[in-house]
Amino acid sequence: MPNKITHFLFDLDKTLISTKIYSDLYPALIKTIKQKFDLTENEINDKAESAKLKKNKEGVWDSGELSKTFNILESYYELLESRFKVVPVLLPYVKPVLKKLKQENKIIAIVSNSMTETIKMCIHETGISEFVDFTFSPDNTKYAKEDVEFWKALIKKHNLNPNNCLMIGDDPVNDIAIPKSVGFNTFHISSPDILKEVLDLI
């Protein structure tokens, strides 16, 4: 690391939280859409395709994007909130790592493709919002992480020097290659246990 890292930017899904919560609520979400709009699963798929939604790595629609398309975000957030009570979500080492970074007066941000409202609910329900200084998502710019413009907008909005920032995430392209191309330091979470090694960099 060439410079002193002052800002630690974390991806959310599969970096800080387990995506089990989304797969856990997915069947209930599909059921809600089927009942509310009297649709079959094929008709739901057709509508998602015509709205240009993309399937995620698990081969299903992103639950938040799907809810936005069907204009049922309120039901989505009710479902999501209820799942936090029963599904363990926070990955190992997250709390001690964030706590230590805060003790060292580091700035902590969540940089995610999830909707701002989802990020806020996730960090609130998992008890880590006290450590987070700001969040940045496609709601703050018209781009997503896979677009270099997303990172330029992040730099501009928060007046960042990417040389002093470390982007930490599980996706080798969206969290690593692309931010690196605009000067961010990066740290790849290839398995959840690696997160604790972030503390070796302070």
> Which of 111, 202, 201 minimizes the C-alpha distance to 154?
111
Decide: is 62 part of the binding site for Mg ion (CB under 5 A): no
Select 62 or 170, whichever has its Cβ closest to Mg ion.
170
To 5 degrees, how large is the angle CA 165–CA 167–CA 168? Answer: 140
Q: Which helix (H) or strand (E) holds 82?
A: helix 73-84
Instruction: Scan residues 155-194 and list those touching Mg ion (CB under 5 A).
Output: 170
Select 101 or 110, whichever has its Cβ closest to Mg ion.
110
Rounded to the nearest whole angstrom, what is the least distance from the CB of residue 195 to Mg ion in the complex?
12
Rounded to the nearest whole angstrom, what is the least distance from the CB of residue 37 to Mg ion in the complex?
30
Instruction: Please provide residue 122's backbone torsions phi and psi, each rounded to the nearest 5 degrees.
Output: -60, -45
DSSP code of residue 67: H
Q: Which helix (H) or strand (E) holds 65?
A: helix 63-69
**Of 10-18, 22-30, 33-41, 158-166, which part binds Mg ion (CB under 5 A)?**
10-18
Among 5, 7, 9, 11, binds Mg ion (CB under 5 A): 11
Select 32 or 114, whichever has its Cβ closest to Mg ion.
114
Among 13, 107, 122, 151, binds Mg ion (CB under 5 A): 13
Alpha-carbon distance of 188 to 158, in angstroms, equals: 23
Select 14 or 68, whichever has its Cβ closest to Mg ion.
14
Tell me the number of residues near Mg ion by CB under 5 A.
Answer: 4
Alpha-carbon distance of 21 to 190, in angstroms, equals: 20
Select 127 or 172, whichever has its Cβ closest to Mg ion.
172
Instruction: Scan residues 14-43 and list those touching Mg ion (CB under 5 A).
Output: 14
> Which of 148, 152, 151, 192 minimizes the C-alpha distance to 169?
192
- Residues lying near Mg ion in the complex (CB under 5 A) are found at 11, 13-14, 170
